[in-house]
Amino acid sequence: MDLTLFMYLIPSLIMFGCGVYGFITRKNMIAIMISLELMLNSVDINFVVFNRYLFPGQMDGMFFSLFAIAIAAAETALALAIIINVFRIAKKVDINQITKLKF
Amino acid sequence: MESVGNIILYFIVAIAIIVFSVLTVTTRKILRSATYLLFVLFATAIIYFQMDYQFLGAVQIAVYAGGILVLFVFAIMLTQQPGKSAEALASHRRWLGLTAALAGVALCGYGLFSYANFGGRLITGGVDINMEKIGQFLLSTDKFGYLLPFEAISVLLLACIIGGVVIARRR
Amino acid sequence: MPLSLAIVVVALPLFMFLFLGLAGVKMGRKITGVIGVLAMLVDTVLAYGVALTYFFGSGPQMVDGVRQAVVVANPAWLSFTDTLVVRMGVLVDPIAAMMLVVITTVSLMVHLYSLGYMSDHDGNAEKGFQRYYAFLALFTFSMLGLVVATNIFQIFVFFEMVGLSSYLLIGFYYSTPAANHANKKAFIVTRLADLFFLLGIMILSYYTGTFDFDKLVFGPTMSGSLETAQSAISTAGGATFMGCSVMAWALTFIFIGGAGKSAMYPLHIWLPDAMEGPTPVSALIHAATMVVAGVFLVARLFPLYVLVQGAMNVILVVGAFTAFYAAAIACTQSDIKRALAFSTISQIAFMMTSLAVSSNNNSLIEIHEGYGLGYMASMFHLFTHAMFKALLFLCAGAIIHAVHSNENDKMHGLHKFMPITSFCFLIGCLAIAGIPPFAGFWSKDEILVAAYQRGLGWGLWMSMVACMTAFYMFRIYYLIFFWKKHEVHDAHHAPKDQPWTMTLPLIILAVISCVAGFVPFHNMVTWDGHHLHTAIDWTVAGSSVAVALVGIGLATLMYFKENPLPERMANAMRGLWTASYRRFYMDELYQFITHKVIFQAICVPIAWFDRHIIDGFFNLLADSTNSLSYGIRRLQSGSIQAYVFIYLIGALLIAAITMVCVLI
Amino acid sequence: MEIFNNILIYFVIVPLLTLGGLAVCRNQGIKAIRTVAVVGASVLMVLAAMLVKIFLDARAGGDTSEMILRSDVMWYAPFNVHLALGVDGVSVVMILLSAFIVFAGVFASWKMNPLPRQFFMWFFLLSTGVFGFFISIDLFTMFMFYEVALIPMYLLIGVWGSGNKNYSAMKLTLMLMGGSAFLMLGLIGIYFHSAPEGQPLTMNILDIAHNDAIPHSWQYVLFPLTFVGFGVLGAMFPFHTWSPDGHASAPTAVSMLHAGVLMKLGGYGCFRIAIYLMPFAANELAWIFLLLTGASIVYGALSACVQTDLKYINAYSSVSHCGMVLFAILMFNTTAMTGAVLQMLSHGLMTALFFALIGMIYGRTHTRDIRDMGGMMHIMPYLGVGYVIAGLASLGLPFLSGFAAEMTIFFGSFQHTDTFHRVLTIMATTSIVVTAVYILRVVAKLLFGEVQDEHHRTLTDASWEERLSTATLIFAVAAIGCFPDFFVDIIKSSFNPVVEALQAALPSVL
């Protein structure tokens, strides 16, 4: 039995689906961020396995993943900072309760 | 033919990813959710190692599992009373999420099944990826050089730092 | 005295209006009055000078024994097209010169009289004295401008102006609701008539291409000419509208304009109400001058009317009916000013009828000896009527001033208290009743002659009205001065004769009323400028005196002394009497039409329609845009999860479509 | 630059300078603001008088060109947008009117509160647009100035208005903008057909008219677009409903400027652009708009009869009078069109006077409902007399402006050989009676009779600046009424090109 590209894509796909589900359903902003990480991660996996299977002589996929991780780290840090700030003001982290800026 | 160890490892990793992903988004305790995420990230790191991208795997563990997740935990600790579960989801929300997720998975899965004739073999050791090479690629301007994105990322990180400072500054 | 002084005659009151209107507030009340009177005196002297020069002097006005119109000035005022130009000119011809005299005389008397009338019993002038004199001057100017008009549009312009002056003066006591109501009514009713006048002018000018009298009615000799009128009419080329020639329409409409001002039935309703104004104003405007503007208008266009039989018949019928109708109402009124007002309507109708009986066949009339008698008689009556009706009104004013009421049951038996007034009133009554040798006899006699010439029926009808005239005038006279003893409640405020400023005009007018009949009108004022050879027709004269005496006798029988006869007669004809007293319900009819029909059934629904349908439509447009936006806003919820969902679904759809396309 | 030798450009520059002057006196107090505003308005008056003089001299000197004082500066070459200036008789009198009303408006808003400086700034911006519109002969420039005149209206009403001002400001702006949208479509359409095949396109009105290149099929589309576009501003039935609400809420000076000048932009544009450039469609489609405008006249007058708010009465009366303007323009003969311009002048001055007086009365009594007022003549005789004069001008009394204007319109319209037009004229004529009804009704209720509210007895009569403001307008109203021929002479010849174009398009039109 070979470990084909396809076999790696399946878990990644499911991970992505979970991310989507979580992103849409969760109300807690932190939980939304977690879902976001899931999606990012699944994309990273895709990059890597495509790179490895289809273009083994190059490193584009790996570098992309590397950058994605860097960006994800920065983004998460910032987002969490914002969330905590919002929490300080509104005492809430639920996305449907923070409506002060609406309309 | 793959080595059996590799195959077993693959199944363990795949099942771990699937199970913990689902748990991450279904658990109602946010701290648990973060913990499951950690497992998913570890599993991903294992895939990277399996692919022979040791550096990437290391980064994954160090940055993601080590850095980001700690941030999450801190944030959770700061904003949540410990042990409190989130309220149950409104059903229409769940249906929405399920629809979107399943539709996405179904479509992509169908796509994969229909087109995935690019089986190919896992080729390990095709390119020797060591730290030196990575460093040179990152800072080179040759054909496979990544200086420009690298610089862009650094600018982005700078912007993030500034943003973080601005956000955290007391008014 | 040059005729061009007529310009000064017209302009001086205008100047006085501006002067008193702008500077009057800064001056004392009395002094403005005195200035007004003096200016009017100068104006009167000038007007007499102009008239005498015109009638008796030598100059361009008399050529080959034909009296001509003289255009003194005629500057353009407003040009519509190159040919259709409105001019503001001064024209002197027999009727204009005669009107100058009438207007200035009565106006001067009223100016003088008002000095006393518009003061309280201590001789202090009322509030608004300056305003009053300014308005009087404005009216005098407007009326003078009207009579010297060189074109029909100028007459229209000054029709509006006299309407305005009348409005302002009726509403002089503007805080009282009645005056407030009356002036509005007067203006609107006459405005409605003026609308027809305007339409008439529009039609006339469209077909003849001119406003000017010298192209419409004056021949090459600048005197009334049927040939000119005929050529003016023929320019219309026999165009018709709804079966009548356009000229008939035009002239009828113009007559309606005149009828509005002259209070012909059914446009008379404003005149009795106009008596809410100060009494001298009633004397000046609503008895002597403005109300004859309609007669003047018809007289001015006389050659045209002569040739358009249809229009003339309308005038005849309206005039004859109004004469009777107003006389019938005058018999029952208890408010003396209203009774006099109806008497005025009736007398003006006499003048109208007199003008209208002048034509008697359809073709171009051969000018025969004595033709145009009706015209002359009408103008003659206008002249004499102005004098004695002004006299009557001023007397009535004196009485009202003395007893502070218009109702004759507050009067009775005033002869003892106000002998001079009583005497003057009597002269006025005799004059209007047509007793020789007072002025009214001569003019009314000519009218009756003209009416009998037209036809026996018309003559008898007018004689009957003359009889009624004598009756109602003496009824008023007796009810004021005799009937029963006057009850004096307070010796201090017993009625007494008025100060000299009021008495003097009465006496002057009484004298004029006695002698005005001897003015040789047939030599002076004729439609074509030729002398008119008339002689007293003694059958008609005798009969008219007889009917007048019958009327007076009846009045004496019923009203000289308190007796139950009037009451019994009123009871015997209760319905008729009430109808007459309520003026045959014309006011109610108008009230119904204006308030119930026009206001409630037209204006209110239109306003509603505007607010709710038209505006509603635009609001609906706005509201639907608004609700659409609110609908769309739900999509722009700001909820990132919803965005993601929609984005994802969209992306998936696109992917699915692409896949389907690729597969197929 | 050569263009600065042209007096016309100063009609735009002066208000802008005034605007700048107001902008710099931030902390100078009300006196400085008033001084700057008065100086600006006075300079405009002087300029307008000079313009009339120049125009008369030019005409007397035998200059028979269609427009005088022409200047042309390229502004944006790709679309042939020029700053093209030029005036004919109509523009001259409209400029004179605007100058008068701006002058009176400054005094009428003497005690404007709050933010007087900002108020005057917007006010002068609006004036800039108005003057700019009248002096330009380039489609784009005209449209631009048109918009410049419209937009400040929103703020002027929204900030300084009274009553339901947000709604009114929004309604007015939106409806007028809707009109502008039509208009812009029309103007773009005209531009793309402005020259015959193969020649460069142009925005210059005179060139377009001389080219006469707009295909008939396009005229059918473009004429209604432009006519309705301008007609909305000219309060044409059924697009008039912004007018009552807008006027009711607007502050005094804005009502004055709006009814006095801005609504005239509509009539002016209708004949200068819609009819002049598209004579064929004008002839063909005039009957529709004649019916609409004829309806406006009677309808506005009847609606005014039952209103109780002073400003509503006036707004409906404006609908009636402005309807008459468009009605007369559509009669396509020199007399009626001259009458239309006279009516614009007359209505502008008289309505401005009305709104000024209403504003002053409202400022004292704080009500505009005639049922709550009465006997004002006792209390404020000066304002009362002014109101009566305005009313008389409105109902068309000789020797005041309305009469000459209405008569010229009626007689001009009646010269039309067509029965349809003449019957419509007769219907329009009836408005003089209805006008008398509602004017006298208001005068009787408001000024005469007994004082309704005892508090009103303590009110004061007009102050000096109010007297100056109203006296200026009364003077102008009387001047037009007494010497109409002076204005007719200026206006009349300007219509020759238009009427000739119409005749060329359809020889049967008189």
ipTM above 0.90, yes or no: no
Chains C, D: CB contacts under 8 A, how many?
A: 124
**One-character DSSP codes across D77-100:** GGGTEEEEEEE-HHHHHHHHHHHH
pLDDT digits (tens, 9 = 90+) for C168-212: 888 888 888 888 888 888 888 888 899 999 999 988 888 888 888
Residues from chain B that touch A72, judged by Cβ atoms under 8 A, are: 64, 68
- Smallest CA–CA separation between A36 and chain C, in Å? 11
Which residue in C2, C16, C7, C1 sits closest to C108, CA to CA?
Answer: C16
Residues of D in contact with C84 (CB under 8 A): 335, 411, 415
Measured distance CA(C463)–CA(C540) in Å, rounded? 9
Kindly report the nearest CA distance between residue D204 and chain C, in angstroms. 31
pLDDT for the residue numbered B129: 72
What residues of chain B lie within 8 A of the CB of C639, using their CB?
none
Inter-chain residue contact D392 with C164, CB threshold 8 Å: yes
Nearest C-alpha of chain A: how many angstroms from C656?
Answer: 17
Summarize the confidence of residues C545-557 as an average pLDDT: 84
Question: Could you tell me if B103 lies within 8 Å of chain C, comparing CB atoms?
Answer: yes
Percentage helix, strand, coil for chain D under 3-state DSSP, each rounded to 5: 75, 5, 20
Cβ of B106 under 8 Å from any chain C Cβ? no
The CATH number of B1-84, from 3.40.50.300, 1.20.120.1200, 3.60.40.10, 3.40.50.2300, is 1.20.120.1200
* Cβ–Cβ gap D303/C181 under 8 Å: no
Six token digits for residue C38: 């003096």
Question: Does the pLDDT of residue C259 top 80, yes or no?
Answer: yes
Q: Tell me the chain C residues in contact with residue B96 when contact means C-beta distances shorter than 8 Å.
A: 645
Closest CA to C69 of C619, C577, C622, C526: C526
DSSP track, D272-295:
IIIIHH-HHHHHHHHHHHHHHHHH
Q: Residue A50 and residue D411: Cα distance in Å, rounded? A: 90
What residue ranges in D365-469 does DSSP mark as E strands?
Answer: none
- On the question of pLDDT at B136 being above 50, the answer is yes
Instruction: For residues C399 and D303, give the distance between their C-alpha atoms in angstroms, rounded to a whole number.
Output: 45
Q: Return all residues near C526 (Cβ < 8 A) that are at least 6 apart.
A: C67, C94, C372, C375, C376, C532
For testing contact with chain D, the best of C184, C241, C267, C600 (most D CBs within 10 A): C184
| C-alpha span between B61 and C571 (Å, rounded) | 124
CA dist D268 and D325 (Å) reads 9
Which pair of structure tokens corresponds to residue C165?
A: 């002056």
For D41-50, write each residue's pLDDT tens digit: 999 999 999 9
Give the A window 56-75 contacts with C, CB below 8 Å.
Answer: none
Contact between chains at A20 and C633 (C-beta distance less than 8 A): no
List Cβ neighbours of D365 (8 Å cut-off, separation of 6 or more): D372, D373, D453, D456, D459
Quick one: average pLDDT of C562-567? 76
- Cβ within 8 Å, pair B107-C649: no
Kindly determine whether residue C187 and residue D436, on different chains, have CB atoms separated by under 8 Å.
yes
Mean residue pLDDT across chain D: 86
Which residues are within 8 A (CB) of D490 and not within 5 positions of it... i.e. 6 or more apart? D52, D55, D56, D59, D89, D92, D93
Neighbouring subunits of A (3+ Cβ pairs under 8 A): B, C
What's residue C361's pLDDT?
47
A53, A72, A93: residue with CB nearest B122 = A53
Q: Which chain B residues have a beta carbon less than 8 Å from that of C649? A: 100, 103
Cα distance between residue D501 and residue D332, in whole Å: 10
Closest CA–CA distance from residue C150 to any residue of chain D (Å): 16
Which of the two residues, D477 and D211, has the higher pLDDT score?
D477
Q: What is the DSSP string of C431-453?
A: HHHT-TTSHHHHHHHHHHHHHHH
d(CA C279, CA C571): 32
Put simply, the answer to whether C640 touches A96 (Cβ < 8 Å) is no
The per-residue pLDDT for B19 is: 94
Residue B146 above 90 pLDDT? no
Per CB-CB distance under 8 Å, the chain B contacts of A22 are: 24-25, 97
Tell me whether B54 touches chain A (CB under 8 Å): no
Q: Where are the domains of chain B?
A: 1-84, 130-171
- pLDDT for position C122: 65
Of C87-101, C148-162, C409-423, D41-55, where does mean pLDDT reach its minimum? C409-423
Helices (H), ranges, chain B: 4-26, 30-50, 54-59, 69-79, 91-115, 131-138, 147-168
Between these two residues, D27 and D469, which has the higher pLDDT value?
Answer: D469
* D456 token code pair: 């009103």
Interface contact C652-B111, CB threshold 8 A = no
The full 3-state SS of A54-101, as one line of letters, equals HCCCCCHHHHHHHHHHHHHHHHHHHHHHHHHHHHHHHCCCECCCCCCC
Rounded distance between C-alpha atoms, residue B114 and residue C307, angstroms: 107
CA D116 to CA B136: how far, in whole Å?
Answer: 69
Terminal alpha carbon distance of chain B: 63
**Dihedral sign from CA coordinates of D251, D253, D257, D260:** positive
Q: How many CA atoms lie within 13 A of D153 on its CB side?
A: 32
Q: Nearest CB to C648: which of B104, B110, B111?
A: B104
Q: Is the pLDDT of residue D360 over 50?
A: yes
- pLDDT above 70 for B122: no
Q: Do B17 and A60 touch (CB under 8 A)?
A: no
Establish how many alpha carbons lie within 13 A of residue D178's alpha carbon, considering only the half-sphere containing its beta carbon: 15
DSSP C208: H
Q: What is the mean pLDDT of chain B?
A: 83
Check if the beta carbon of residue C85 is closer than 8 Å to that of residue C78: yes
Q: Report pLDDT for B171.
A: 62
Q: In this structure, what token pair is assigned to residue C331?
A: 């018999």
> Closest approach of chain A CAs to the CA of B59, in angstroms?
8
Which whole number is the average pLDDT over B29-52? Answer: 90
Close Cβ partners of C600 (under 8 Å, ≥ 6 residues apart): none
Q: What's the confidence (pLDDT) of residue C362?
A: 42
Mean pLDDT for the stretch of residues C301-325? 86
H-run or E-run covering D324: helix D310-329
**Rounded alpha-carbon distances, angstroms, from residue C79 to C83, C153, D265, D491:** 8, 12, 25, 12
> What is the pLDDT at residue C491?
62
Amino acid at D270: C
Angle, alpha carbons D63-D66-D72 (nearest 5°): 100
**What distance in Å separates residue C660's CA from the closest CA in chain B?**
11
Backbone angles phi, psi at C218, to 5 degrees: -95, 135
Residue in D344, D331, D358 with CA at minimum distance from that of residue D235: D344
Written as tens digits, the pLDDT of chain A (103 aa) is 677 888 888 899 999 999 999 988 888 888 899 999 999 999 999 999 888 888 877 788 888 898 999 888 888 888 888 888 888 888 877 877 777 766 5
Q: Which H helix or E strand runs over D365?
A: helix D334-365
Contact: B25, A57; criterion CB under 8 Å = no
> Residue C364 — very low, low, confident or very high, per pLDDT cuts 50/70/90?
very low
CA distances from D168 to C464, C647, D152, D315, D359 (A): 66, 40, 14, 13, 17
Could you give the count of Cα atoms lying within 13 Å of C271 in the half-sphere of its Cβ? 33
C571 vs D428, residue with greater confidence: D428
Going by their DSSP bridges, the two strands C244-245 and C240-241 should be labelled as antiparallel
State yes or no: chains C and B have 3 or more CB pairs below 8 A.
yes
The residues, ordered by sequence, that sit 6+ positions from B44 with a Cβ below 8 Å of its Cβ are A41, A44, A45, B17, B60, B64
Tell me which chain C residues have a C-beta less than 8 angstroms from the C-beta of A99. Answer: 638
Probe site for chain C from B96, B98, B102 (most C CB atoms < 10 A) = B96
**Phi then psi for C401, rounded to 5 degrees?**
-60, -35
- Closest chain B C-alpha to A101 CA, distance in angstroms: 17
Q: What SS3 class is residue C414?
A: coil
Q: C173 to chain D nearest CA, in Å? A: 9
Q: CB contact, 8 Å: B39 with chain A?
A: no
pLDDT tens string B4-31:
888 898 899 999 999 999 999 988 888 8
Question: Which residue does chain C place closest to A26, by CA atoms?
Answer: C641
pLDDT digits over C369-386, tens only?
A: 456 778 888 888 888 888
Nearest-Cα residue of chain D relative to residue C83 = D335
Q: Is the peptide bond before D196 cis (omega within 30 degrees of 0)?
A: no
In this structure, what token pair is assigned to residue C640?
């990132």
The reply to whether C607 touches chain D by the CB within 8 Å rule is yes
Determine which of D338, D376, D448 to mutate to test the interface with C (most C C-beta atoms within 10 Å).
Answer: D448
Closest approach of C172 to chain D, Cα-based (Å): 10
Verify whether the Cβ–Cβ distance B14 to A7 is below 8 Å: yes
Cβ of C550: how many Cβ atoms within 10 Å? 14
CA distance C641 to chain A (A): 5
End-to-end CA distance of chain C: 114
Q: Once rounded to an integer, what is the mean pLDDT over residues C315-319?
A: 89
Over residues C589-611, the mean pLDDT reads 82
Tell me what pLDDT residue B22 has.
92
Q: Is pLDDT above 50 for C272?
A: yes
Neighbouring chains to C with at least 3 Cβ pairs closer than 8 Å: A, B, D
CB C297 within 8 A of CB C254: yes
Over the stretch C11-35, which tens digit does the pLDDT of each residue have? 999 999 988 888 877 887 788 888 8
Asked whether at least 3 C-beta pairs link A and B within 8 Å, the reply is yes
Summarised one tens digit per residue, pLDDT across range A21-38 is 998 888 888 889 999 999
> What's the number of CA atoms in the CB half-sphere (13 Å) around residue A17?
23
Q: Say how many residues make up chain B.
A: 171
Q: In which region does residue D29 sit, left (phi positive, over 0), alpha (psi from -120 to 50) or beta (all else)? A: left
Lowest mean pLDDT among C249-258, C590-599, D19-28, D500-509: D500-509
D408 and C CB contact within 8 Å: yes
- Residue matched to tokens 């990826």: B129
Please name which of C591, C625, C621 lies closest in space to residue C181, comparing C-alpha atoms. C591
Q: Is the Cβ pair C202, D399 closer than 8 Å?
A: no
Higher pLDDT, C401 or D404: D404
Inter-chain CB proximity B111 and C655 less than 8 Å = yes
Q: Are D450 and C175 in contact (CB under 8 A)?
A: yes
Cβ–Cβ < 8 Å for C394, C502: yes
Neighbours of chain B (3+ CB pairs under 8 A): A, C
Please state, in angstroms and as integers, the Cα–Cα distance from residue C281 to each residue in C172, C326, C345, D103, D275, following that order.
10, 21, 16, 40, 52
pLDDT per residue as tens digits for the range C510-539: 888 888 888 877 777 777 777 777 666 777
pLDDT at B92 > cutoff 70: yes
Of C633, C638, C644, the CB nearest to A23: C644
Q: What is the mean predicted confidence (pLDDT) over C64-73?
A: 80
